[in-house]
Amino acid sequence: MERRCTGSEVKGVSTGTTILAAIYDGGVVIGSDSRASIGGEYVSSKTINKVIQVHDRIFCCMSGSLADAQAVTKAAKFQLSFHSVQMERPPLVIAAATIMKELCYKNKEDLQAGFITAGWDHRHGPQVYVVSLGGMLVSQPVTIGGSGSTYIYGYVDAKYKPNMSREECLQFATNALALAMGRDNVSGGVAHLAVISETGVEHVVVPGNKLPRFNHE
Amino acid sequence: MLGGAGPELVTEEVKTGTTIIAVEFNGGVVLGSDSRVSAGDAVVNRVMNKLSPLHDRIYCALSGSAADAQTMAEVVNHQLDVHSIEIGEDPLVCSAATLVKNISYKYKEELMAHLIVAGWDRKDGGQVFATLNGLLTRLPFAIGGSGSFYVYGFVDAEYRKGMSRDECQQFVLNTLSLAMTRDGSSGGVAFLVTIDQHSTEEKIILPKHLPKFFNQ
C-alpha cells in the first residue's frame, strides 16, 4: 500500500453526471440524473435532460463537458437523419453509435465527452453502445458512466441480470441512479429515464422526492 | 504511477489500494479486507492480512500507506495493553478507537492512513468506529480504501439493520468480492474476522470461494 497518485479518485475528466443504460427482455432502459454543475460548487441547472433523442428509437446519454456533448449530439442527429433518408428506412443503433464514435475519435484532442447510445432496431433488437473519451466503441448489455457511476459499479454488478422484465429493469435503473445521486455531490435532481422497445418510447421522470430511499446515516 | 499520455487528472488525495469493511451485528462485529499491497503498478504482497488485532476482542482494519497504518496499529496495541493493565479489565472499543483517533489527528499532516476500529466489549456489545483524518464516529458499518468507492451504492442498498451474524458475513463477502473485481488495487484473498463475546474467529476465503456476480 505505497503512496500512489490515482488522480481524482472519482471524476477523471467527467463533470457531474450519472448515466446508465441496460438491456431487458424486449427493450432497453436509458437514464440519467439532471444536475449540471460548474466546478463542483455551483449547480447551474437542476433539471437538465441529458437523455437526448437522436432518432425515433435511438437515444444518447452524455457525460463530460456538456457543451462538447451537446455539440456532438447535434451533429450526430443531423448526420443520422440524413443517413436514414438515404437508406430509406430507420437507422440501426450501431450506425448512430458509429457516428458518435467517428466524431469523438477524429476530434479527440478537442473534445471531452463520453456517450452511451441505446436503442432498438429491426435487425438486432435492443442494444447498448458505449463511446468513451478517446473514441472507443464497445457494445455491452449494461453500462454506466459519469462521475457518479463509480459509486454504483458494485451495485450494478450485483443486481443486473440478463432478460429482466421491463418493470424489473426500470426499478433497477431507478435504484442505481438514486444510489449514485445519494453519494455523488455533482449528480442529483430528478431521474430522467427512457424505455425503448419495438412498440415505442416511454419517457419516465422520477422527481427527487419519489426516488427510492436507502439507509443513509 | 499511471503511465502513458492521458487527460490531465486533478490529484486531490493519494489513495492506495485496499478495500476494508466492518459491520456491527447484535452481539458482535464482522471485519473484512482484501489482501493486495501495491507499489505503483506492481503487487508487492498478494496475501497481506489487513485486519490487525488491537486486543483480544478489538481489531482494526488498515488502509492507506502500509507503513503508517501498521505502525499506528502497533502503537495502539501497546497503549491498549498498558491501559488494560491499569484498569484491570478488558478495554472498551471506544477507548481503542480514541487512541487511534488521537494519533490520526495529532499527526494528520504526516500520516496517510485510515483505520476502522471494531470489536466487542461488555458495556456496549459490538461497535464499529471510523477514524478517518482524525474524526471519531460510531457507525453501524464502515467501508474504506480505494475499492470502497465502487461499492458505496451496493452497501447503501443492501445494508439492513438487525442482520444476523451469518448475514453480516455474507454481506461483507459480497461487498469485498464486488470491490475487488472493479478496483485494480484490491484483490487476492479475502480475510474475515468475526468477534463476539465468546470468541474471535479468523477466516481466509480463497478467490474461488468468493461470491460471483453477473460479469465474472
Q: How far apart are CA B75 and CA B109, in angstroms?
A: 18
Q: Is residue A14 part of a domain?
A: no
Query: Phi and psi of B163, rounded to 5°?
Result: -75, 155
Cell of A156: 450494478
Q: Which residues contact A108 (CB under 8 A, 6 or more apart)?
A: A133, A134, A135
> Between chains, do B1 and A5 touch, taking CB under 8 Å as contact?
yes
A163 DSSP 8-state letter: T
How would residue A5 be classed by pLDDT, with cut points 50, 70 and 90?
A: very low
Burial B127-151 (b: 16+ CB within 10 A, else e): bbbbbbeeebeebbbbbbbbbbbbb
Measured at the CA of B74, the angle between CA B71 and CA B77, to 5 degrees, comes to: 150
> Between chains, do A155 and B2 touch, taking CB under 8 Å as contact?
no
B contacts of A217 (beta carbons < 8 Å): 139-140
Q: How many domains does chain A have?
A: 1
Q: Is residue A2 part of a domain?
A: no
3-state SS, residue A129 = strand
CATH number at residue A80: 3.60.20.10
> Is pLDDT at A171 greater than 90 in this prediction?
yes
Give the position of cell 473484512: B32
Q: Is residue A4 part of a domain?
A: no
Cell of B138: 460510531
B contacts of A157 (beta carbons < 8 Å): 154, 178, 181-182, 213-216
B contacts of A1 (beta carbons < 8 Å): 16-18, 37-38, 62-66, 69
Min Cα–Cα distance to chain A from B98, Å: 21
Min Cα–Cα distance to chain B from A146, Å: 13
Q: Is residue A216 part of a domain?
A: no
Answer positive or negative: Cα dihedral of A155, A156, A162, A166.
positive
- Name the CA dihedral angle for A116, A145, A188, A204, rounded to a multiple of 10 degrees: 30
Q: How far apart are CA A85 and CA B120, in angstroms?
A: 71
Tell me the angle at which helices A66-87 and A93-106 cross, rounded to the nearest 10 degrees. 130
Q: What is the pLDDT of residues A178-191, one digit of tens each?
A: 999 999 888 888 99
Kindly write down the DSSP assignment for every residue of B147-192, as one continuous string: GGGGGHHHHHHH--TT--HHHHHHHHHHHHHHHHHH-TT--S-EEE
Q: How far apart are CA A15 and CA A132, in angstroms?
A: 14
- Mean pLDDT score of chain A: 87
Q: What does each of the 216 residues of chain B score in pLDDT, given as a tens digit? A: 445 554 444 343 333 579 999 999 999 999 999 999 887 777 888 888 999 999 999 999 999 888 889 999 999 999 999 999 999 999 999 999 999 999 999 999 998 899 999 999 999 999 999 998 899 999 999 999 989 999 999 999 999 999 999 999 999 999 999 999 998 888 899 999 999 999 999 999 999 999 988 766
Among the partner residues B37, B175, B215, nearest to A1 by beta-carbon distance: B37
Q: Is residue A157 part of a domain?
A: yes
How would residue A87 be classed by pLDDT, with cut points 50, 70 and 90?
A: very high
Chain B (40-69) residues lying within 8 Å, Cβ to Cβ, of chain A: 40, 44, 62-66, 69
A contacts of B63 (beta carbons < 8 Å): 1
Query: Phi and psi of A75, rounded to 5°?
Result: -65, -40
B2 touches chain A (CB under 8 A): yes
The residue range of the domain holding A93 is: 19-208
Q: Is residue A213 part of a domain?
A: no
Question: Annotated catalytic, A17?
Answer: yes
pTM score: 0.84
Are β-strands A142-145 and A19-24 bridged in parallel, bridged antiparallel, or unpaired?
antiparallel
Among the partner residues A11, A112, A217, nearest to B139 by beta-carbon distance: A217
Q: How far apart are CA A150 and CA A169, in angstroms?
A: 20
Residue B13 confidence (pLDDT): 36
Q: Is residue A11 part of a domain?
A: no
Are β-strands A36-38 and B190-196 bridged in parallel, bridged antiparallel, or unpaired?
unpaired
Catalytic residue set of B = 18
Give the position of cell 437523455: A51
Neighbours of A215 (CB within 10 A): 13
Q: Is residue A215 part of a domain?
A: no
**Closest chain A residue by Cα to residue B44:** A1
Kindly write down the DSSP assignment for every residue of chain B, as one continuous string: ---S------------S--EEEEEETTEEEEEE---EEETTEEEESS---EEEEETTEEEEEEE-HHHHHHHHHHHHHHHHHHHHHHTSPPPHHHHHHHHHHHHHHTTTT--EEEEEEEEETTTEEEEEE-GGG--EEESEEEESGGGGGGHHHHHHH--TT--HHHHHHHHHHHHHHHHHH-TT--S-EEEEEEESS-EEEEEE-GGGS---TT-
Q: What is the pLDDT of residues A11-30, one digit of tens each?
A: 333 468 899 999 999 999 99
Distances (CA, A) of A11 to A17, A39, A147, B58, B153: 10, 11, 5, 36, 16
Min Cα–Cα distance to chain A from B14, Å: 5
Distances (CA, A) of A150 to A4, A39, A160, B1: 19, 18, 16, 20
Q: Which residues contact A111 (CB under 8 A, 6 or more apart)?
A: A65, A68, A72, A103, A104
**Catalytic hit among A17, A143, A150, A174:** A17
The letter for the amino acid at B81 is: D
Rounded mean pLDDT of A59-86?
A: 90
How would residue A103 be classed by pLDDT, with cut points 50, 70 and 90?
A: very high
CA A33 to chain CA mean position, Å? 9
